[in-house]
C-alpha cells in the first residue's frame, strides 16, 4: 500500500483479490471474487468496515480487495483486438514490421470476400494463411475446424499445428483494448469456475439467457456466442459498469472465455418482463397503487440516467423486468449511449420511438420521455400493444399530425395527462424525468390515482 492511498467513500464496491479468513472477532472473512461494499473508514487507513452480499458487516484489509470502477468511457473494447478488418496485404505487412517471430493479426480477405486471412511474422517475413469459411465453420487446413476466430487464434496460440510458428503476440489494432484486460483492470471480470448454468429462461437474437448460480446466488446470464454479436454486447456491458441504481438491473460481472464467447452476468429478476407480468395478471390482480408504483420505479431509473447523461433509446415494457419482491427495473442497455451519439435507425421500434428520433436520428433524454409516455400507456392498458387498430405504416404520419392515443380503460385522468405531456411533438416542451417523478409522487401522496 502506498502512503497516499485515496480514501474510498461509503458505498464503494470492491472485489476480493485473495481469500481472507480473518483473525479477530470483528473481521469479515471473504473469498477471492466476492463483491464487498465499503460501509465506513476505520482509524487505520489500511482497514475498512465493509459488508458482504448477505449484509454481514466487519473489518477488511484494503490491500486484499480491488476497488471496482466503471469501464473507461470512450475506449473501444474488443474481444478480438488482433482483428483489423478490411486492410490490404501490404498494410498488414507494414503493421507487422519490424519483424518479430509470432507477431500476428487477422484481416478480412481481399481476394476471397467472406473469408479471412491470418498474417504471421516469421523469421523476417510475413506469411499469409487463408482462413476458409465453409458451412459456418472456419479452417486453415480443412482438417481442424473452428466455430469462430477467437477459437482459431486460441488453438494456434498453443500449437503451431502446421503454421510456420505458433501465434505468440497479437498486433493490437490501434485504439482498441482487449476486453478481458479492461474488465479485469476495473474489477468486473468473474471466473467461469464460480458459475453454474442451470436452465434457459429466454432467447434473444444473440443467444440464450440462462438462469445461473454464481457462488450460491441466482443470477441471469446472457450467453453470447458469435464474434460480431459479442462485440456489440461489450458496449452494453461497459455501459452497465458505469450505472448503479436500485431500479436498474444490476450487472454483477463479465466472463470472457476465449473458447466459448462472452457471458454477461446480472441480477436475476424472478417475475420476468413487465409486459408479460401485466398481461398475465391483469386488472383483477393489479390494483391502481401497483400500476403507479411500477410507473414510479421506471421513472426513478430514468431520472438517474438523465442525471448521468445516458440515453436509453429502447424504453418499453418489454425491457423492464420485475423482481421477486415486485420492484420494476429497467434493463437492456443494448442501445444505451452517452447522450449525443447517433445510430442506425433501421431496427428502431416505431411505436415507442419519438418522431424526431425516427426522422432525424435525434436521440436525447427527451426522446426517452416520449417512450416513457408509451410505457405508461402499456402499464395502464395491462400490456396492450400501443396504437391498437392503426396499421404500423400509418402510425408515424398520424403522430406527426398531432394524433395521441386515447386513455386506456379505467386509467385515471391525471395519469393520462402525464402521458399526453410526454407526447408533445416539440421535444423542448416535454417534461424532464425529474419533473415527471415529482408529478407521479404528487399523484401518489395525494392519492389522486384512485
Binding-site residues for ATP, please?
222
- Angle at CA of residue 313, ends 420 and 287, nearest 5°: 50
Whether the ω angle into residue 98 lies within 30 degrees of 0, i.e. cis, is yes
Catalytic, out of 297, 314, 332, 368: 314
Q: Cell triple for residue 5?
A: 492511498
Q: Report the alpha-carbon distance of residue 326 to residue 297 in Å, rounded.
A: 10
Q: How far is residue 3 from each of residues 8, 44, 50, measured CA to CA in Å? A: 14, 12, 21
Q: What is the maximal distance between C-alpha atoms in the chain?
A: 80
* Phi, psi (deg, nearest 5) at residue 115: -100, 175
Structural contact between residues 327 and 347, judged by C-beta atoms closer than 8 angstroms: no
Tally Cβ neighbours within 10 Å of residue 202.
Answer: 12
Q: How far is residue 377 from each of residues 184, 236, 432, measured CA to CA in Å? A: 42, 27, 18
DSSP symbols for 14-45: EEESS-B--SSTTB--B-TT-EEEEEEE-SST
Which position has the grid cell 453454474? 196
Active site residue 314: yes
DSSP symbols for 374-420: HHHHHHHTTSPPSSTTS-HHHHHHHHHTT--PPPPTT--HHHHHHHH
Q: Report the alpha-carbon distance of residue 52 to residue 440 in Å, rounded.
A: 34
- Angle at CA of residue 301, ends 299 and 304, nearest 5°: 110
Task: Please give the helix or strand (H or E) that residue 74 lies within, else none.
Answer: none
Catalytic positions are 314
Amino acid at each position: 500500500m502506498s502512503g497516499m492511498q485515496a480514501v474510498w467513500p461509503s458505498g464503494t464496491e470492491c472485489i476480493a483479490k485473495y481469500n481472507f479468513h480473518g483473525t479477530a472477532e470483528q473481521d469479515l472473512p471473504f473469498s477471492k471474487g466476492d463483491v464487498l461494499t465499503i460501509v465506513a473508514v476505520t482509524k487505520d487507513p489500511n482497514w475498512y468496515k465493509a459488508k458482504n452480499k448477505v449484509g454481514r458487516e466487519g473489518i477488511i484489509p484494503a490491500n486484499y480487495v480491488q476497488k471496482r470502477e466503471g469501464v473507461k468511457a470512450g475506449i473501444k473494447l474488443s474481444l478480438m483486438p488482433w482483428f483489423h478488418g478490411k486492410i490490404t496485404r501490404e498494410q498488414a505487412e507494414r503493421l507487422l514490421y519490424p519483424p518479430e517471430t509470432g507477431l500476428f493479426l487477422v484481416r478480412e480477405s481481399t481476394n476471397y470476400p467472406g473469408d479471412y486471412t491470418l498474417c504471421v511474422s516469421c523469421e523476417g517475413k510475413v506469411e499469409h494463411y487463408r482462413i476458409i469459411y465453409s458451412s459456418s465453420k472456419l479452417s486453415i487446413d480443412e482438417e481442424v475446424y473452428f466455430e469462430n476466430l477467437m477459437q482459431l487464434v486460441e488453438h494456434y496460440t498453443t500449437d503451431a499445428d502446421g503454421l510456420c510458428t505458433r501465434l505468440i503476440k497479437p498486433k493490437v489494432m490501434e485504439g482498441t483494448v482487449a476486453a478481458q484486460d479492461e474488465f479485469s483492470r476495473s474489477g468486473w471480470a468473474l471466473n467461469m469456475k464460480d458459475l453454474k448454468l442451470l436452465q434457459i429462461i429466454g432467447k434473444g437474437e444473440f443467444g440464450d439467457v440462462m438462469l445461473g448460480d454464481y457462488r450460491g446466488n441466482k443470477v441471469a446470464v446472457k450467453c453470447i456466442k458469435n464474434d460480431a454479436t459479442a462485440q456489440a454486447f461489450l458496449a452494453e456491458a461497459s455501459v452497465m459498469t458505469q450505472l448503479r441504481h436500485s431500479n436498474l438491473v444490476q450487472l454483477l460481472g463479465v466472463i470472457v472465455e476465449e473458447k466459448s464467447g462472452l457471458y454477461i452476468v446480472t441480477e436475476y429478476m424472478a417475475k420476468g418482463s413487465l409486459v408479460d407480468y401485466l398481461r398475465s395478471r391483469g386488472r383483477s390482480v393489479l390494483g391502481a397503487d401497483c400500476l403507479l408504483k411500477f410507473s414510479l420505479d421506471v421513472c426513478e431509473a430514468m431520472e438517474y440516467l438523465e442525471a448521468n447523461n445516458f440515453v436509453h433509446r429502447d424504453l418499453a415494457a418489454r425491457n423492464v423486468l420485475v423482481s421477486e419482491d415486485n420492484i420494476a427495473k429497467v434493463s437492456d442497455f443494448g442501445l444505451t449511449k452517452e447522450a449525443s451519439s447517433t445510430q442506425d435507425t433501421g431496427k428502431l421500434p416505431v411505436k415507442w420511438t419519438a418522431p424526431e428520433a425516427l426522422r432525424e436520428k435525434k436521440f436525447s433524454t427527451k426522446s426517452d420521455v416520449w417512450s416513457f409516455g408509451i410505457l405508461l400507456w402499456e402499464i395502464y392498458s395491462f400490456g396492450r400493444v400501443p396504437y391498437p387498430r392503426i396499421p404500423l405504416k400509418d402510425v408515424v404520419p398520424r403522430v406527426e399530425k398531432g394524433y395521441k392515443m386515447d386513455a386506456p380503460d379505467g386509467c385515471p385522468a391525471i395519469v393520462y395527462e402525464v402521458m399526453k405531456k410526454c407526447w408533445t411533438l416539440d421535444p423542448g416542451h416535454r417534461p424532464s424525468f425529474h419533473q415527471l417523478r415529482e408529478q407521479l409522487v404528487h399523484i401518489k401522496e395525494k392519492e389522486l390515482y384512485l
